[in-house]
Structure 1
Amino acid sequence: MKTNYILAISGSDILSGGGMQADLATFTSHGLFGFVALTSLATVSEGGFEITALTEDLLVKQFASLADLPFAAIKVGLLPNQALARQTLAFLKARPEIPCVLDPVLVFKENSDEEISQMRAELLTFFRHVTLITPNLREAEILSGITITTLSDMKKAAKMLYGLGAKHVVIKGGTRLDKHQALDLYFDGQTFYPLSLPILHENNNGAGCTFASSLASQLAWGQEILAAIKAAKRFVHQAINRSNDYGVQQYENKN
């Protein structure tokens, strides 16, 4: 690792369970110095969460501010619209040597089917320019077009996403497929690696963000992909175990 600098391109979670708040806490837990290029703000009202995208010009200015920093890894989270996605992709294309984890956040109730379809097309263009993608089951279904109800379906979706250009795919199974085990699936283009840990019943808000940012942290330290995925899964399991009313809690990483 040339530096301990790591970047999150992500939105803000006003309640600090996920988003850039979880990213920065995770980076710190892994002994890294975290930077953020902010894409959106979340606020809470009686109607639920509202996501407000930052302007394209403001994101461009953030990227210009960070242009000369030698990041060891990058994590990409919520990209609320096509314009911000395109600017983010341009930033990544200029840094092909930097390991990058894409957490393709697609599903918010504020998004129409048309908006989700547009963002699906936009995010597919990222696949050849990032190291690894980490969709949850619903995101994997949208990106692959495959309904997932079994491990076999997860394998089909992972293979489809790999065929669309992803170098490495981790589908986060969460709690949908098994009531007792949180099952994830890693595919490297040749071999499927099912990974499971016992399901915890504490608050798991922010677990997806934390997994992706922990994985990016592992890559920043030079871990091999499979070892990084296993370490990130253990880290999230412990974070969920320590969660409070607002989401997962970070702890000192011992890996």
Structure 2
Amino acid sequence: MKTNYMLTIAGSDVLSGGGLQADLATFHHFHLFGFLALTSIATLSNNGFEITSIDEVVFQKQLDSLKAVDFSAIKIGLLPNESIAERTLTFLKAKKEIPVILDPVLVFKENNDEEISTMREVLLSFFPYTTVITPNLKEAELLSGVNITNLTDMKKAAKILYEAGARIVVIKGGSRLDKTRAIDLFYDGEHYVDLQKPLLSMNNTGAGCTFASTLSSYIAKGESPLLATRHAKEFVYQAIANANEYGVLQQDEKN
């Protein structure tokens, strides 16, 4: 590990269950110093969560402020629009030697086909500049075009995403494939490795963000992507087991 400096480019969760709050809490748990470029702010109303994008000029100023920092890894979370995504990609291209973990949070799932298609193409353009991508099942479906109903479908989607330029694909299966076990899939172009844990009934808000930021932390510390994925799976399992009503919780290390 060159430094203990980590960067998350992510949105804010007003309830602190996920987003940048989960990322920074995870980095702190692993004794890493977290930097932030804020992409959006989530607020809660009677209509549910609403996403407000950060002004593009302000967002660019954040990235410019971080140009000289020697990060050991960069984690990408919610990118609310095409402009912020493209500015992020330009920033990454100038830091090609740094591991990048892309957690492609899509906020356009309920919107029109044009928005979905645009963000899909933008996110696919990130793949050659990433070390690991960590889509959930829905995001993997949107990005790959595969309707995922079983582990075989997950493998098919992972292969398509790998062939689209991702070096390593980790699909977070969640509870959709099996009501008793949470199944994730790791693929590096040669080997498929499925990782399973018993499904917990506790609140799992923020689990996806915490998984990706944990994986990022272990890669920053020099672990292989597969071992980092295994550690992230275990860490998130324990975080869900200790969740409160707002989201998963990072427990103090016992050492």
Please, what TM-score do these two structures have when normalized by structure 1? 0.98
- Counterparts of 2:24 and 2:129, CA distance in 1: 23
Alignment match, 1:81: 81
The runs of at least 4 aligned residues of structure 1 exceeding 6 Å deviation read none
1:60 corresponds to which residue? Answer: 60
SS of the residue corresponding to residue 243 of structure 1 reads coil
In 2, Cα distance between the equivalents of 1:123 and 1:3? 28
* Whole-Å separation in 2 of the counterparts to 1:66 and 1:135: 26
Deviations along 1:88-124, whole A, 9 cap, x unmatched? 0011110011111000011456633321211001000
Task: Verify the 8 A CA contact 1:107 1:116 in the aligned structure 2.
Answer: no
Q: What RMSD over aligned residues (CA atoms) do the two structures have, in Å?
A: 1.2
Percent pairwise identity = 62
TM-score w.r.t. the length of structure 2 is 0.98
CA contact (8 A) 2:181 2:196 kept: yes
Deviation at 1:180, TM superposition (A): 1.1
SS, match of residue 203 in structure 2: coil
Corresponding residue for residue 160 of structure 1:
160
8 Å Cα contact 2:93/2:129 also seen in 1: yes
Unaligned stretches of 5+ residues in structure 2: none
1:246: which partner in 2? 246
Q: Give the structure 2 partner of residue 122 of structure 1.
A: 122
Superposed counterparts of 1:42-61, under 5 Å: 42-61=42-61
Q: Do residues 147 (structure 1) and 130 (structure 2) align?
A: no
Post-superposition shift, 1:2?
Answer: 1.2
**Aligned positions, number:** 255
Question: d(CA) in 2 for partners of 1:128 and 1:254?
Answer: 38
For residues 251 and 99 of structure 2, the distance between their equivalents in structure 1, rounded to whole angstroms, comes to 24
Matches within 5 A, 1:81-100: 81-100=81-100
2:234 alignment partner in structure 1? 234
Which whole-Å CA distance do the structure 2 matches of 1:188 and 1:89 have between them? 22
Cα pair 1:235 1:253 within 8 Å, conserved: no
CA separation in 2, counterparts of 1:66 and 1:2?
Answer: 16
User: Could you give the per-residue CA deviations for residues 142-182 of structure 1, whole angstroms, max 9, x where no partner exists?
Assistant: 00000000100000000000010000000000001111110
SS at match of 2:2: coil
Maintained 8 Å contact 2:10/2:78:
yes
Structure 1 runs not aligned, ≥5 long: none
Match of 1:188 in 2: 188
